Structure formats: structure tokens, C-alpha cells
Chain A
Amino acid sequence: MTQLKDLTLKVWRQSGADNPGYFETHKVETVSDEASFLEMLDQLNERLIGEGKEAIVFDHDCREGICGTCSLMINGRAHGPQRATTTCQLHMRTFNSGDEIVIEPWRAAAFPIIKDLMVDRSSFDRIVEAGGFITAPTGGAPDANLILVPKPVADAAMDSAACIGCGACVAACPNGAANLFTGAKIAHLNVLPQGQSERYKRAEAMVMAMDDQFGSCTNHGECSAACPKEISLDVIATMNSDFRKSKSKNRKALSRS
């Protein structure tokens, strides 16, 4: 365990959605390299409270990289410099003494800033509400082994289902598009046998809900690079293809395809 010294933090402060924001500079004299990035912010907040100032507001919860609550644009990258890592899993050992670290909230029209570094990501929930599910009311399910799912299919579904809904894809996308998020859910449910009945309805409804709120994909690949779960760009292609078919397929003949 060693100590990092003399970090300069430039943290975005903003008191409300409509209020102008600004960067506030804080010096961090020393912090353990074993500390996580958010623990470093915890320590800064402790100091701010000690000085009678308001603590920096940021979203966080599980701190083990699975709940998707944490966010932050760190030095121009969603979730900071380490690949496949959420901000809460990012450790200070990734930085060096004397570094300047700029922290900004995620910016997108669909992610309005609530306060400081906290944004509202409920636009993602709207997409799931539109169709990101399999209609299976409680009680009527057949025995689990009646639905055979080949292992490669289950694995592919799991790869897409690993999405934690953190919004890094939107934050990183130069266009503020949510195609990776939406594509991941579509690719998860649309490859499974259980998901076939609603396959095209789902793709259509989810893409339309996405379309109402987000920008469009121009195939940069930033989303996938920023994704802490390394979801592949392929899910976007799957979504595009299923969406196109949703518009062209005769759904009364679905059982024949």
C-alpha cells in the first residue's frame, strides 16, 4: 500500500437542473492507492463536511460493479481510464501522484442533471417499460426444462444480459445514443426461445421508445469501448435487423419463420 500525493480534482458542481454549473477545484493531499475512486470522493466529502460545506452529490450504491448506479466522466472517459471497469471498481492505483483529474456528470438530453454529478437515467426505464420483457405472468410457466436452450444461445443471451444499465454507452457516445443499451436487452431476449413470440413487437416498441429520447448511432464504437461489461456492438446490428423486420414482417405468419 502506497500513498498518492497532490492530486488536483476539478469537480463539476451544479445546484439544480436549470442552474448554471461550474468546475470546483479541490486538492487531495494524500490518498491510499488501495482506495477506490469513490472512496477518494468519500474522503473529500468528509473534509467538505468538516469545513461546513455541502458534500458533492454523486450516485453510487453497490460498489462492486454490478448495480450500475455509479457514473462519472473521468478525464473525458465514461467510468474513467480503465477498460471494463465501473467507477466504483476503479482504484486509485490507476492514477499517479500529481495528476489532475476532471470529473463531470454524464451529459445527454435524456439524462438531465439533478445535482452536481447526479443525473436522471429513468429514460432507460422507459425503454424497458415499452417492451424489454417477456410477457410471462406469474403462475403459468411450464417446467423449466421443457424449454431447451442450446448452450451457445444461453451464453450469447447472457453476454447481452450482462448490461448493468449504467448509461456509460450514452455518455460516451458522441451522439448521445442509447443503441447499445437497447440493443443489449433486445439481443438478450430475442435470441431466447422464450422471447420469440414478442420478438418483433419488442424490437419495435423498444426502438421507438429509444428514438423518442436519444440520439442516433453513427457506428463510432465508443459505447462498447466504454461499457463496463464489454457488450459487443453486434447487439446493435441485431437490434437494427429485428427492427427492420418488425416493420416488414407479417406477424400473423411469425410461426412460419
Chain B
Amino acid sequence: MSATLISKVPAGALPDKWDNYKADARLVNPNNKRKFKIIVVGTGLAGASAAATLAELGYQVDAFTFHDSPRRAHSIAAQGGINAAKNYRGDGDSINRLFIDTIKGGDFRSRESNVHRLAQVSVDIIDQMVAQGVPFAREYGGMLENRSFGGAQVSRTFYARGQTGQQLLLGAYQQLSRQIGLGGVRLFNRTELVDVVVIDGRCSGIVVRDLLTGEITSHAAHAVVIATGGYGNVYFLSTNAMNCNVTAAWRAHRRGAMFANPCFTQIHPTCIPQSDESQSKLTLMSESLRNDGRIWVPKNPDDSRPAEQIPENERDYYLERLYPSYGNLAPRDISSRAAKRLVDKGHGVGPLKNGVNLDFSAAIARLGRRTVEERYGNLFQMYERIAGEDPYSTPMRIYPATHYTMGGLWVDYELGTTVPGLYAAGEANFSDHGANRLGASALMQGLADGYFVLPYTISNYLAPLLNKPVPSTDHPAFAQVETEARQRFKSYLGVQGTRSPDWFHRQLGKIIWDYCGMERTQQGLEKALAELPALYGEFKKDLRVTGTGESVNQTLEKAGRVDDFFQLGMLMCRDALDRQESCGAHFRSEYQTEDGEAMRDDQNFCHVSAYNWTGDPMAAELNKEPLVYETAHLASRSYK
């Protein structure tokens, strides 16, 4: 089925669209809200805030998390901060400025209306989180403190030391906990979504697997929200948590939700470089470090002196040299590629020559060790734990790593996927960041979706369904999907091959990283598309999962997730091959300017690529949502 993508953008001038939408949206009477049941999958920033808010409004909410507690979601690991157009500094910030920065940061591949709404509600998020007791950094006078972040020339980032994500998540978690305590939300922990059920064209529920008992059960609802985060773990090595996966989004995709821009994956410039082959994940060092740290490599590739002994004139502060106006705060994609090029040319530092220096000696000299410690203490400590070096005395070594995925389930203005009744929020959707996300915008988007968008848009969907009962789980569609899920998990156990799911994941990740990572080429992507189906075939034949399906079996859980990563990986490479331009994080070597910058092709690719499941990820059907810029002007992005 070839669908036209209806983005449901409301009428009116850009700044009025959201107000117009709210004015026109259908509402559910407070007494009727309790007749509706909503399932929220995932309890990170987007999921927890949505579940809590919907329950406060009076809906019956069932929240699902595969963690033991909602507080473990990976939103917790975000360090640097959250953007909001508060203009508390009086430095020229405004909703419009945040909107333009985000559109430009996303290299003109995001939908204007969504981004503008994000900038509008960003202001409410800070109010809401402060009211909940999030201990944001303060000035001595008691007002909120700000720092600046990549891709912006104003200071609009609010932060709580280097643990902003943690504090925001705990705020949302506490609000969710309150609703659990009051009976407004039923929490299913250690329960993973394994499929989505669609009856008569509407999303009617989900099928889940209890990770403790292996039991597969059905849950029906009037609407389902997928807020399960991104798919960065397809690379195996990423800054995502070990258990982050694409399964919920992917299973929704397989049931009819289109998957948009899968090749837009962000590589974060400041992570700790890999130290050996056995490494299981990479650790991010907040971008906020670039506020005070200076990035450099030795001019001489063969310089083997310790960093602090290399004199100033033999250091190449390449970001300051290449992008004088933004300097060390150039956007993520640009900083990452610059680092990669220098490391590829042999300027890398560290035992494996796989990093660049992030030097704080100037900041320590200027501000004093104490101030630096206050701003970044926990990050420095984290670095010291992992790398075994003291960043106060020797520069940190950093290198880009996969961090965030801008792509995800295609959603309209209401955050609805192409399956009516199925919503996607937070990193799981594709909506707001285009081809590249600016720092401190992920927290903003997750909370905007959960607190201030979904509660409005879901009621607009539910209102006409009043007095239609929750679909019954006795419906044959549920039984059918349950059986398929049982079969699937049984089949992983049944292969009895020789390789663990982790082994396959590592191989898969290597292919994706090599050919669909920071720089992509037609040749490489074609190679990947040749290798992936073969490896996937091997996965089906040679997988080994030990243990049983009736008690906790992390190997089995992993097998299911790797299976979905394989299918996604193929779609990613296909999308990257198809998008014959460079934009944001998607950098095709064939399409670059003379000085190595991304070369967009607005003639042919100013659209969202949304894929329809056809049964074979290699043959997914491409649909295009054209992107129209009425307010922001398509311009080539320059941070020089």
C-alpha cells in the first residue's frame, strides 16, 4: 500500500499553529477520561512524563518498562543540560531564535511546525521541572544559571551539574510514582514489548513478554504510546545503555507504522575512545565540556611527547582554526567529522592513536581548579574511573561515538504514527531534529512530547471513540500475534548453533559503523547491503541461545533485539544509499564542498524518507514527505 503522508499541520502562521491546534482540538470531558485506557511503553523522559500527565488528567494508564524500575531509563545518562528559550540571560534569545537554531542545526531536514512548537513549549518545561524540585544550577541570587551549548550563540541551556538527564528523569519518575501510588497508573516492570496489535486499522494493544517468567500476554487499550528511545545500539558500540534497543519501534513498524530517516544517526564528538577489543560500550563526556575545554591535536603526527609537554605553537586547535565564530562549540556532526579526519590523517593521540585532546589547562588557569571542579567535577571523576588518567593534569582524550538517532517512527504533527491510535514520543520518533540534533535538545524534546504535546493530541484522537469499549484481548488478532511472538522466541532457542547473540551484534555493529557511520559512500553502503543479508542468514542458522524461555534469560532477550537490529540495519543502509546528498550527520563523501563541508541537495532531497514495511527490509517501500520552509530560509549551514 502506498500511502500519502498526512502531516496534519494546522493552519495559520507558524507562531500560531500550536495555539490554533489547541483551540480546535477535541476534548474529553473529565468524567469520561476514566473510560479510556492508554498504554505507554517506555518510562524515560517522554514515557514517564506522558504516563504521569495522562493519569493526572484521569485516563487509565498502563505503563510498561523492561527495567526493574522506571528510574533506570537511559534518559538518566544525559549530562549537559536542557535548552529552553527563556532568555533569562537577556542575550538575544527568543522562541524564534531557538526554532531557527534547531532547524539550522538539523540542516533543514525537519518539519518547521513541529520544531516551532518544541521551541514554544520549551519554556513551560523549565517551569514544570523547577516546580517538581529539579535542583537546577543557580546563581547566588537564587535565579537559574545557564551555560551555552554547541550550535548556539546564546546561553540557553539549563543544567544540574553534569547530571541534568538524571535529575529531569527523576523528576518525571517521581511524578509517575505519585500516580502509581495513587492508582492512576499500573506499572508493569521487567516487561518488554514484543509486538503491536492492529485491529481494523487501529492500534488496539500490545503483546508483551514478562522478562522474569517468559510469559507472553496481551494488553488492549484505546491508544498506545511508544516512547522507547533510539536505536543507536545497532552500532554495538555506542553511548547508549546496554539494553537500549529498537524492538518496540521496529515491531510497530512491521505492523504498519512507517519508519522515517533511519540513516540520520548522530555521532557525538566527545566520548572516551575505545581502549580495547573487549569493550562493551562507549562513554560520553558531556558536550558542555566544550564550553571550557579546548580541542587540539599535535601538528606533528609522530609527536609522541605527553600532551602537557607539547608547546602551544605545535598544537593544532583545529575547531578554533576552521570555525572561528563557533570554535570549540561547533555542532556535533561538524566537530565529529573534523576529529575523524585528523585521526585518519594520523594526528590521533593516546596509546591507540584514536582520540583528540580536550584540554582544560587554559580553563583551570583562567577560572581556577575549584570552579572547573564545580562545573564538571562528576564528569572528570567519571573520566578518571574509565580512562585511569587525571584530566586535571593531562588532557582528556576524546573521540566521536554513536549517541543519538534522529530517525525513528514517522509521526504527524500530533505525534501519531501512520497507524491510527499508535503514537511515538521522544527519541523513538523522528520529528524534531532533522539530520542532526543540537546538544541539550533531546531532553527538551522528550519532555515536550510527554508533558505538553501528547496530552492534547491524544484527547483529540480519543474524543470520537467515547463509549467504545477497550478492545478485548480475546479478539483473534491478539491470539494470532501472541502465537507469532511465542514462535519467534522458541525459534531463537531452537537454532542451537554456535554463536552468541552478542557475537552477531558485534559483527553487525562493525559493518554498520564502517559503512554507515560518520562518513558514507555508495560503494561502502552497497558492500554493507551485500554483507548484511548474509550475516543475517547466518544469525538465523548459527545462533546459540542457552537456557530456557521460562525464567530470566538475558541471552534470549538479546537475541530478539539483535534480530530487529539486523532488519533495521539493512533499512538504514538502504536509506543512506538512497539519500544522495550530505546533510547534518548524514555525510556522503561523494557530496561535499571543496573544503570538506556537507553539500545538501535541496532540489531532490528536501524531504523526509519514510519507509513502509513490505516483509523484507531490503525492499521497504519509500514514501516522501516534502519539507516546506515558510519561515526559515533554506541556506547552507555555516559555522565559520
Direct contact of A and B (CB under 8 A): yes
B94 an interface residue at 8 Å Cβ cutoff? no
**B433 → chain A closest CB, angstroms:** 22
Tell me, rounded to whole Å, the shortest Cβ–Cβ distance linking B388 to chain A.
Answer: 6
Q: Is the CB of B166 within 8 A of A66?
A: yes
Any A CB within 8 A of the CB of B180: yes
Q: State whether the Cβ of B546 lies closer than 8 Å to any Cβ in chain A.
A: yes
Closest 5 CB pairs between A and B?
A148-B142, A129-B181, A133-B174, A141-B131, A136-B131
Q: Is A8 an interface residue (CB 8 A)?
A: no
CB nearest neighbor in A for B496: A52
Point out the residue from A16, A43, A124, A188 that lies within 8 Å of B69, measured CB to CB: A124
Q: How far is the CA of A15 from the CA of B141 in the complex (A)?
A: 56
Whether A67 and B74, one on each chain, are in contact in the complex, defined by CB atoms closer than 8 angstroms, is: yes
Question: 1/0 per position for A116-145, CB-CB distance to B under 8 A?
Answer: 101011101100111011111111111111
The answer on a CB contact under 8 Å between A149 and B174 is no
A121 touches B69 (CB 8 A): yes
Answer whether A61 and B178 are a contact pair too, CB < 8 Å, given A1-B276, A66-B76.
Answer: no
Stretch at the interface among B246-254, B551-559, B617-625: B551-559
Q: How far is the CB of B444 from chain A (nearest CB, A)?
A: 14
A115: Cβ under 8 A from any B Cβ? yes
Task: Report A-chain residues with C-beta under 8 Å of the C-beta of B166.
Answer: 66, 162, 164
Contact yes or no, B124 A141, CB < 8 A: yes
List the one stretch of B279-287, B315-323, B410-418, B628-636 in contact with chain A.
Answer: B279-287
Interchain residue pairs with CB less than 8 A apart (27) = A34-B275, A42-B278, A48-B546, A57-B552, A61-B67, A61-B241, A62-B76, A63-B242, A63-B283, A65-B385, A66-B163, A82-B385, A128-B173, A133-B174, A134-B174, A138-B53, A138-B128, A138-B452, A141-B131, A144-B130, A150-B140, A151-B138, A151-B142, A155-B135, A161-B170, A165-B71, A195-B133
Q: Please tell me which one of the listed residues B165, B167, B278, B451 contacts residue A43 in the complex, with CB atoms under 8 A apart.
A: B278
- B381 within 8 Å of A (CB atoms): yes
B52 at the interface (CB under 8 A from A): yes
**A141 and B128 contacting across the interface, CB-CB below 8 Å:** yes
Known: A68-B72, A120-B68. A145 touches B242 (CB 8 A): no
Closest to A165 in B: B71
CB neighbours (8 Å) of B143 from chain A are 145, 148
CA A164 to CA B67, docked complex, whole Å: 14
Chain A proximity of B452: nearest CB distance (Å):
8
Contact A138:B283 (CB < 8 A) given known A46-B500, A64-B77:
no
Give every chain A residue within 8 A of B160 (Cβ-Cβ): 158, 161
**B89-141, CB < 8 A from A:** 124, 126-133, 135-141
12 further A-B pairs in the complex, CB-CB below 8 A; given A31-B278, A39-B279, A48-B546: A1-B276, A42-B278, A54-B547, A67-B241, A93-B388, A115-B552, A129-B178, A133-B178, A138-B49, A145-B88, A188-B133, A194-B131
Q: Count of chain A residues with Cβ under 8 Å from any Cβ of B?
A: 85
Size of B's binding interface in residues, CB under 8 A: 87
- Asked if B470 CB lies within 8 Å of chain A CBs, one says no
Q: Which residues of A contact B243 (CB under 8 A)?
A: 61
Q: How far is the CB of B360 from chain A (nearest CB, A)?
A: 20
Q: Is B13 an interface residue (CB 8 A)?
A: no
Q: Give which listed residue, A32, A64, A141, contacts B278 with CB less than 8 A.
A: A32
A64 CB to nearest B CB, Å: 5
Q: With CB as the reference atom, state the residue of chain B lying closest to A34.
A: B275
Given A15-B551, A132-B177, A134-B131, are A39 and B280 also a contact pair (CB < 8 Å)? yes
**Contact pick for A65, options B167, B276, B382, CB 8 Å:** B382
* Residues in chain B near residue A150, CB distance under 8 A: 138, 140, 142
B70, B86, B178, B351: residue with the most chain A Cβ atoms closer than 10 Å: B178
Whether, in the assembled complex, A91 has its beta carbon less than 8 Å from a beta carbon of chain B, the answer is yes
Bound-state CA distance A52–B451 (Å) is 47
Q: B280 to A42, Cβ gap below 8 A?
A: yes
Contacts of A124 in B (CB 8 A): 69
Q: Is B403 an interface residue (CB 8 A)?
A: no
B residues within 8 A CB of A233?
Answer: none
B455 at the A interface (CB under 8 A): yes
Q: Complex: how many Å from CA A16 to CA B545?
A: 19
A84 on the B face (CB < 8 A): yes
Instruction: Report A-chain residues with C-beta under 8 Å of the C-beta of B177.
Output: 125, 128-129, 132-133
Binding site for B on A (CB under 8 A): 1, 15-16, 31-32, 34-36, 38-39, 42-43, 45-46, 48-50, 52-55, 57, 59-69, 82, 84-85, 89-91, 93, 114-116, 118, 120-122, 124-125, 128-130, 132-145, 147-151, 153-155, 157-158, 161-162, 164-165, 188-189, 192, 194-195
**Cα A42 to Cα B500 with chains together (Å):** 11
Most B CB atoms within 10 A — which of A143, A154, A189, A195?
A154
Q: Is the interface of A mostly helix, strand, loop or mixed?
A: loop
Instruction: State the CA gap A42–B281 with chains docked (Å).
Output: 12
> Residue B56 at the A interface, CB < 8 A?
yes
B465 at the A interface (CB under 8 A): no
The distance from the CB of A86 to the nearest CB of chain B, in whole angstroms, is: 9
By beta carbon, the residue of chain A nearest B166 is: A66
Complex CA distance for A195 and B53, rounded to whole angstroms: 20
A130 to B181, CA, bound (A): 6
The reply to whether the CB of B343 lies closer than 8 angstroms to some CB of chain A is no
Name the B residues within 8 Å of A50 (CB-CB). 498, 500, 544
**Judging by beta carbons under 8 Å apart, are A134 and B281 in contact?**
no
Residues of the A chain whose Cβ atoms lie less than 8 Å from the Cβ of B545: 49
Inter-subunit contact B69/A125 (CB<8 Å):
yes
**Cβ of A50 to closest chain B Cβ, rounded Å:** 7
B592 interface hit (Cβ, 8 Å) = no
- Using A61-B74, A114-B552 as known contacts, say yes or no to A122 and B68 having CB atoms under 8 A apart: yes
Name the B residues within 8 Å of A45 (CB-CB). 500, 555
Contacts known (A46-B502, A60-B242, A138-B56); A143 close to B127, Cβ less than 8 A: yes
- B135 close to A157 (CB less than 8 A): yes
When distances are taken between beta carbons in the complex, the residues of chain A under 8 Å from B69 are: 121-122, 124-125, 165
Chain A CB within 10 A, most for which of B69, B128, B129:
B69
Residues of A within 8 A of B351 (CB): 1
Which residues between 128 and 164 of chain B lie within 8 Å of chain A, taking CB atoms? 128-133, 135-144, 160-161, 163
Among A64, A65, A139: residue with most chain B CB under 10 A: A64
Known: A55-B554, A121-B69. A147 touches B174 (CB 8 A): no
**Interface: B466 (CB within 8 A):** no
Q: Is the CB of A59 within 8 A of B503?
A: no
- Closest beta carbon of chain B to A193's beta carbon, Å: 9
Q: Which of B132, B243, B555 has the most CB of A within 10 A?
A: B132
The reply to whether B132 and A133 contact each other, CB–CB distance below 8 Å, is yes
Kindly report which residue of chain B lies nearest to residue A56, judged by CB atoms. Answer: B554
Closest to B212 in A: A114
Complex CA gap A229/B328 in Å reads 30
Contact of B521 with A by CB under 8 A? no
Q: Which residue of B lies closest to A189 (CB)?
A: B133
Could you tell me the distance between the alpha carbons of A69 and B136 in the complex, rounded to whole angstroms? 24
Interface contact A53-B88, CB-CB below 8 Å: no
Instruction: List, in ascending order, chain B residues with CB within 8 A of A93's CB.
Output: 388
Q: Does B189 touch A at the CB level, under 8 Å? A: yes
The distance from the CB of B415 to the nearest CB of chain A, in whole angstroms, is 16
In the complex, which residues of chain A have a beta carbon less than 8 angstroms from the beta carbon of B187?
Answer: 125
Q: Are the CB atoms of A118 and B552 closer together than 8 Å?
A: yes
List residues of chain A with CB within 8 A of the CB of B278: 31-32, 35, 39, 42-43
Minimum CB distance partner of B547 in chain A: A54
Decide if B174 touches A115 in the complex (CB within 8 Å): no
Chain B residues with Cβ below 8 Å from A62 are: 72, 74, 76-77, 241-242
| A147–B130 touching, CB < 8 Å | yes
Closest B residue by C-beta to A120: B68
Q: Which residue of A lies closest to B73 (CB)?
A: A67
Could you tell me if B500 and A49 are in contact, using CB atoms closer than 8 angstroms?
A: yes
Q: Taking A16-B551, A42-B502, A138-B455 as contacts, is the C-beta distance between A89 and B382 under 8 angstroms?
A: yes
Residue of A nearest to B451 (CB): A138
